[in-house]
Homo-oligomer: A and B are copies of this chain.
Amino acid sequence: MAKEKKDISMSVIKRLPRYYRFLGELKKQSIVRISSRELSQRMGLTASQIRQDLNCFGGFGQQGYGYNVDQLRQEIGSILGVGSDFKTILIGCGNLGKAIASHMVFEDRGFKLIGIFDSRADDMKDLRIKGLSVSPMEDLEVYCREAEPSVAVLCIPSDSTAPVVEKLIALGIRNFWNFTHYDISSHHDGVVVENVHLNDSLMTLSYQILNQ
């Protein structure tokens, strides 16, 4: 039933997870159907925008009725690839890496954590995160040839990121969840990068506080 994907704009994509979240809430509250108007009021959007967004992918609604909450949620989930199983490795197991690995429900979102690497793995002999031990960076090459992960989560210091990315790309990894400040996209083409720049976020907050 889903439409041929044309070229959906990033603005739309970025809104999808939020729809997914709100629909999950509605489902929890045992709400079965919802109109674009009602959803728009809850989410602080226009009904028009919701209908436009959803119609990028197909006619999920029904005239005179609205949308079926659970069905719509599943459709959006499938568009976002919630049911995927991307083999993922974590590079850098310091405070942040540890938190990301143990805190995030990777599996719920289509990512399967299969390996953890850190340059000081020696100091982490006894550490286990989700049953995984921490391997030294030297093992990366052999490991990747065997396990063929497709995604790397980067939680290493920004200034040592460049050569690591170089290596990962050489080993065939094309998808990055990047917590460093290193600007992967401006150095490499044909690579998928989702940045989480916490410092940038903090500075945006700071601006908003000063100019509210």
Contact = CB atoms under 8 A, between A and B. Distances in A.
A105 interface: yes
A37 to B, nearest CB: 15
Interface in A149-198: 150-151, 174-175, 177, 181, 183, 185-186, 192, 194, 196-198
Nearest to A177: B205
A209 B14 contact: no
Given A103-B96, A104-B202, A211 B5 contact: yes
Interface stretch (A67-75, A78-86, A115-123, A134-142): A78-86
Given A5-B211, A209-B150, A202 B177 contact: yes
Interface string A94-110: 11101110111110111
Contacts of A14: 200, 204
A86 B42 contact: no
Given A109-B203, A192-B205, 6 more contacts: A42-B186, A95-B99, A104-B199, A151-B205, A175-B205, A196-B196
Interface of A: 5, 8, 13-14, 16-18, 20-22, 42-44, 79-82, 84, 86, 94-96, 98-100, 102-106, 108-111, 150-151, 174-175, 177, 181, 183, 185-186, 192, 194, 196-212
